[in-house]
Structure formats: C-alpha cells, structure tokens
Structure 1
Amino acid sequence: MNILLIGKNGQLGWELARALSPLGRLTALSRAELDLTDAEAIRQAVRHVGPALIVNAAAYTAVDRAQQERETVFAVNAAAPRILAEEAKRLGAALIHYSTDYVFDGGKNAPYQEIDAPRPLNVYGESKLEGERAIEALAPSYLILRLSWVYGLRGGNFLRTILLLAKERDELRVVDDQIGAPTWSRLIAEASAAIVAQAHAHGGIAEFLADKGGLYHLASAGQTSWCGFAQAIIAHAPLLARRPPVVPIPSREYPLPAPRPAYSVLDSSRAARVFGVALPDWRLSLLSCLADMMP
C-alpha cells in the first residue's frame, strides 16, 4: 500500500512516520517539500505518489498569530484539506485528517461528543472546522480525528515550553480555568496506525473507512487545567535542576489575542467502540512521555 504522509516533521507527523512505515510504502513530505498554500503543488504531489492512503498531519497551529493571518490559516487548514479530499476521491484513496477540540466554544460542562454543534471562538478553530466540512462533503472514504492539547518531545507545544521556562524562571504562573485533556502525540500516531492495520485485515483502507470512517474524537482519558498539566510536568520531569512553583491564575490575568474555550474535553468513547482504540489517562501518558527523556 502506498501511503502519503504530509507534515512529517511536526510533533504528530514525526510519530506517524514511525508508526505507519511498517504498514506500507511510505512517502513522507515536510513543509519545505510541500507548500500547503500552493494548490497545484498539492495536486501534483498526490498524483506523483498515487497513494491508497493520504494522511494529513500538517496544520497551521499558531493559534494567536492566526488571528492576524486569516488568509494563510484558511489556505493550510481549510483549502488544503479540500484539495486532498478531491484528490483522494479522484484516486479512490482514503484520507486521514486531524482536527481540534478548538472547534467548540467551551460552553458545555460535560465531554463533547461528535454530535455536539461546533462553535469555534477563534480563527484557528474556524479554519479547522471548514477543513472538516470540506472533507465530509467531498471524500467518500475518510477519517477525521479531533484531538485535544497535543504535546510531545518534538516541535512547539506546552510540554516543551514548560520545561524551558522551568530553567529560566523562579515561578510559573499558569491559567487554571481552561480545562482539557493533554494528549501525547505518540499515542495518537499509534492509534492511527492500529486503525490502518485493521483495514489491512478487512480488505483495504478505502473500503474500510468508507464503511466505518467519519468524524471521531481521540484524546486522553481524564481532564485537567493548563496549570494542573504544568504542575504535573514540573513534578515528574526527569533531570530538571530547578522545579519552580506553579501558581494558578485566571485567564483574565494572561490575556491572549485568540480566545480559548474554557472547557474542551472530548468524549472518545465512539472510537473505542468502533475501532477498539482508547487512550489512557493523561497522567499515565505524561509519565510515559517524560520517561523518554531519560538517556
């Protein structure tokens, strides 16, 4: 099976390259190798590879900068997925795409299900929702996985930021009134690969996702605030010379250009029922991730 992975150097893409490589002939492209703002370049890349499966792990994820770069954000997060969906349909290929909990406004006080109405608060969330809808309208065989608070030991993310700040500051002041589920990029990649492997056993990826695909939530079990996440990182990260206190603050004391949902926990039970994939509690996942820091 030919697999085309887009976004190979991102925190999720790097893990996906490792997880998917045993499952087929993998062609993995970086941002430098494929400009997702260039529609024709996207089409040519897909047609050159002729994949049975396209995996799009690339996205514009700078949530605050997105408020000022709407055209670029929508090109990468909405227009590019639409083109990939068109090409997948033309080839009879399957498409796996990753979205975000930020499609929700945070007004709910129970984990969001796939049937809940999305109402994004910021440009990033709007662009990701438009990408979802383009795929749903065009691709006959697709899987969209909405993710939550993705982190890992590569790329730009909250975990690496906290580890860096711990070396520089005597105290960390972190928002405590936004609730979500930190999710390790490696577990997302492994769950994705497990779903692809199931398709091998059921006659092919396109047929499998045409039957069982669609929109699913995939996040760690449990929930915490950004402050709680930071406290766990500081408490358990190995090799830290300094462990500054982490002080909870309200969002109003840390204003940002893009509003965030106050609550964006995802209910991932549907993915567990259909595919048998379920991620462990976020605390256990964090401990496993931090263990990878040890030499």
Structure 2
Amino acid sequence: MTRGADEVQWLPVTDERCGDDRFAGPGVRALHHAVDLATVPETVVLTAPLAHWQDLARRRPAPFAEYASLVEEPVSLRAWQIRPRAADVPVGPVFVNLVPGTVAEGMLELLALAEDGPPEFPRLAFALQRFTAPEATVLTQAAPDGERVRAQAFLGLAEQLSEPLYPDLIVLTGRRLAVHEYRVADKPTATMTADGGSHTEKIAELRRRAPVLRVKALQEIGALAVAVARRLGMPVTAEFSVVEGKPVLLSCRPREVPS
C-alpha cells in the first residue's frame, strides 16, 4: 500500500520501493537487496515525515493501532530517522517479542524519542519484523573482499538489560574463512526471551564457558555477511539470529570505514 509522500507508506521489505534510500534509508535498502541471499523474517516498513506521525498522535485516540497487526505477532520493532543521501539515525532501543496490545505503545514511545532527535532528519520510519526466539544472536562486520569477518556471538539476544552482555569474539580470515581468533567469554548471564519481552537469565556453570556457536555455524554466517557486502559493493554490519540451528538475517546496513 502506498499513499501520498506526506502520509504513511507501508511496504514489505521485499517491495522494490524499499531499494530506494529516499523511502526508508540505506539500512532498509541493504536488507531489501539481501532478501534473496539469506532468510529474512517477515518485515514491513512504515515511513512518513515526522510531522505526520506527530499529527496522527495528536488527532487519534489510538493513532497507530491500524499498523500493529501488519506482521503476525510477536514482533520486533525498531525506528530510525532519515535524510536523503545521508546515513540514517537509529531511534531508541529495538523492542523485541512484542505481543498484542504493545506494538502501538512501542511506536508511540519511539516517536517521543524521535521528537528529540536531529531536526535535519525530518522523516521517521518503523520496521515491524516477525520475532522468533533465537538460540543465539551474531553481529558481524564484513567487506566485499571477504578477507576478514569480525563477529560477536551472544547467547540468546544481543540486548543489554540490567546485566552486561558477554559475547564471544571471533575473527575469520581468508577465502575459507578460517578461524584467526576465537575468544570465548565467561557468560554468567544472558538475555533470553520471556513472555512479552526479554529477561536476564543465569547461565549454568558448564554452559557459561562453552562457545556460543560451533565454528561451522559461524563460517556459514560469515559467508552470508560477505555475500551481502558483495551484493551492495561496500562493507556492512549485519545482525543474524540462529533459530533451530539456521541463520536468519534480521538487519544489515552499510558500514563506514575510517579513512
């Protein structure tokens, strides 16, 4: 569905219009171009000028209720501000595992945070993404040459609550993505899925000093990150979850490299 440029537009990330930076920024463009390279959960992007979102919030008693069911719940919700031909600006935290009745509330909370954001980024976008509880989450950095992939592997979710996060740190190098470095963290706690959200959970003694993932799984994720970087022709940061042993691409975005 598409409306006027000054009203809310919403599209699945597979739609060709999501490949246009002006629609929802370079992060969505990157994810759009990666959907045939990796499994991507059902994702719907909503975008409108910040002023339009503010007007909806003022005029309607339940301003975002009509958007809360675009993706089957539970969902993850994230938001960011957009300016043409510029990197987007993330707004607030990523809300995970939202259940009925909480998606619209989350959008309102992120809108309030965006109102304090940079005025030169006048457009606000949301992404609603189908959530499935992961065994692990992996944040990767990769470049088109594929010579080096850096990864952080977390038990459960890469979401910091009351306790610090304890990721394993992995560096894969060369054409075969051989392990150059694998530092296994002592993980006394981790963030895990809970009813309607997430919570901090203590990790059993034997599990806390074990690697989050086997090398083969990390190499599969690393190869996917490299494939995305090659598709875009630039370095990327990509977030994967591991669900039932399979990697799922949650987000990716172009990564600026220091000169």
Please state which structure has a larger fraction of its residues in helix: 1
More strand by share: 2
Q: TM-score, normalised by structure 2?
A: 0.28
Q: What is the TM-score when the length of structure 1 is the normalising length?
A: 0.26
